[in-house]
Amino acid sequence: MTQKIEALRLLEESLKELESPKGSIYSAIQKISRAATLLGNEEIQIWCAIQHGDSRYISDLQEFLSYLKSKPDISSDEFKVNYRVFLKKLKEIGLKEEYHFTNEELNIKASESGGGYVSIGFVEEKYADLVRTKQGNDRTYYKNNLFNHLSYVRKKSHEFASNLFNQLKFTGTISNSFDILRTAIDDKLLDINPSLAEQLMLAFRSVSSEKNEEWSHALTTCRRLLEGLADQLRPVSNEPFKGRPLGQAQYVNRLWAFMDTAIESDTNRDLAKTHVDFLGAWLEKINKITNKGVHTEVKQLEAIKAVFHTYLSIADLLDYLDDSQKSITKPNINSATIDELEALLDINRTTAKEIIKTRVKHGNLDSAMLSKIPGIGPKTLEKAINVFSI
């Protein structure tokens, strides 16, 4: 994230240089090069190096250009062979035709009186000298040709900087912002209760899968996570809260009740109540989606939205947790559903069924019984001990 911020700053400064009549093209390209390095864009980085006269590239480019300027017969077999040899040589040092030796680029660099492949900083200095002395040329370099060279490099530099800036500024903004939120929530939940944090991270991983059953598991995990939070924050009650029943199945209502009580003393009461209603609406949407369960065909977009809104909802819930409430009970493996076992332990359906069968046979499971079930290895057993109360 820090690298992207620094790259944005460099690109913004380079654009200001390029858009100012007094701005330095050389300086702008330096900044574009540093930004490209930070972003891992090798094509633009090399293009900038060429404009700075980097000997790693310009000697081969000059040789190629000299061959083209010799006006070979482009229809001959000899030309075709030589051309392929030059292309191979240029590609071996990382050059790409669409970036580093386009027809437009070669035509500009072909003019020795315009600077050719010398550093663009030198071209700027020569042009400035001719303007200051009011000369058209110094018998080596011509003002008009230098101007054309500078105009081309300025235009290409602005094009590269603008594209990089726009991609960085506007592409992936939601993703990057969500990553910040997700990391913060994961860290906070890990401090409070690692098993719930693992459930949430598992749900996020599941929605990235290409398998339909994984999306269903994500929804099951979201539901179980919210139920666990509700059990801790607002226990089941036979008495309704402001007209909302607070039974075991009404975990959304219990979360509402917790939020309503937690922010009751907020000085901005009206705003707080509005926030509770908004949060409740999102929780209800999550509830309806997750209630589809694994027996209904679930679309990936639905699963993604459920996980995202679960993160957003938990972010709000955690803001109101008291220190005394930062101990959330693990789900009991002896009451977990087959869907929960499958999702939280990341096991297949067959293994989950074996756990249920063993549990029914013996009444209750302990870690020793669990370790003997086919499909339960040391890693899965360790995860079960961390995720469930056994």
Q: Structure tokens of 65?
A: 């250009």
Distance, in Å, from the CA atom of 154 to the CA atom of 141, rounded to the nearest integer, reads 19
Does the residue 351 lie in any domain?
Answer: no
User: Can you state the angle between helices 194-207 and 300-319, rounded to 10 degrees?
Assistant: 150
Query: What pLDDT, in 10s, does the model give residues 40-66?
Result: 899 999 999 999 999 999 999 999 999
207-213 own/partner pairs: CB under 8 Å, 24+ apart: 207/300, 207/303, 207/304, 207/307, 212/297, 212/298, 213/294
Question: Residue 127 in contact with residue 142, Cβ under 8 Å?
Answer: no
Q: Structure tokens of 34?
A: 């540093």
Does the residue 375 lie in any domain?
Answer: no
Q: Do 52 and 165 lie in a common domain? A: yes
Going by pLDDT thresholds of 50, 70 and 90, the confidence category of residue 272 is very low
359 pLDDT above the threshold of 70? yes
- Arithmetic mean of pLDDT, 68-88: 93
Q: Do 53 and 124 lie in a common domain? A: yes
Going by pLDDT thresholds of 50, 70 and 90, the confidence category of residue 271 is low
Q: Do 139 and 227 lie in a common domain? A: no
Backbone φ and ψ for 242, nearest 5 degrees, come out as: 50, 45
Report the SS3 class of residue 4. helix
Q: Structure tokens of 285?
A: 């949407």
Query: What pLDDT, in 10s, does the model give residues 295-337?
Result: 456 677 777 877 887 787 777 677 665 444 444 556 788 888 8
Q: Structure tokens of 233?
A: 């924050």
233 pLDDT above the threshold of 80? no
173 pLDDT above the threshold of 80? no
Q: What's the confidence (pLDDT) of residue 195?
A: 72
201 pLDDT above the threshold of 90? no
Q: Do 201 and 138 lie in a common domain? A: no
| Burial category of 33 from C-beta neighbours within 10 Å (exposed 0-12, middle 13-18, buried 19 and up) | buried
Q: What's the confidence (pLDDT) of residue 83?
A: 94
- Arithmetic mean of pLDDT, 254-272: 63
Question: Residue 355 in contact with residue 233, Cβ under 8 Å?
Answer: no
| Other beta carbons less than 10 A from residue 74's beta carbon | 9
Q: Do 33 and 136 lie in a common domain? A: yes
1 pLDDT above the threshold of 60? no
Distance, in Å, from the CA atom of 11 to the CA atom of 162, rounded to the nearest integer, reads 8
Number of domains forming the structure of the chain = 2
| Other beta carbons less than 10 A from residue 238's beta carbon | 7
Residue 281 lies in domain: 174-329
- In the chain, the amino acid numbered 300 is Q
Give the pTM: 0.48
Mean pLDDT of the chain: 82
Q: What's the confidence (pLDDT) of residue 191?
A: 72
Q: What's the confidence (pLDDT) of residue 84?
A: 94
- In the chain, the amino acid numbered 170 is F
Domain boundary among 297, 329, 361: 329
240 pLDDT above the threshold of 50? yes
Lowest-pLDDT choice from 142-146, 190-194, 253-257: 190-194
Does the residue 75 lie in any domain?
Answer: yes
378 pLDDT above the threshold of 70? yes
Question: Residue 305 in contact with residue 222, Cβ under 8 Å?
Answer: no
Does the residue 48 lie in any domain?
Answer: yes
Q: Do 127 and 209 lie in a common domain? A: no
Going by pLDDT thresholds of 50, 70 and 90, the confidence category of residue 381 is confident
- In the chain, the amino acid numbered 297 is E
Q: Structure tokens of 13?
A: 């400064």
Q: What's the confidence (pLDDT) of residue 366?
A: 84
Q: Do 32 and 123 lie in a common domain? A: yes
Q: Do 22 and 81 lie in a common domain? A: yes
**Nearest one of 322, 330, 376 to 224, comparing CA atoms:** 330
Going by pLDDT thresholds of 50, 70 and 90, the confidence category of residue 137 is very high
- Arithmetic mean of pLDDT, 180-200: 78
Q: What's the confidence (pLDDT) of residue 3?
A: 80
Element (H, E) at 270: helix 269-290
Q: What's the confidence (pLDDT) of residue 138?
A: 94
Does the residue 356 lie in any domain?
Answer: no
Lowest-pLDDT choice from 49-53, 242-246, 339-343: 339-343
72 pLDDT above the threshold of 70? yes
Q: What residues have CB less than 8 Å from 333, skipping those under 6 apart?
A: 341, 355, 359, 365, 370, 384, 388, 389, 390
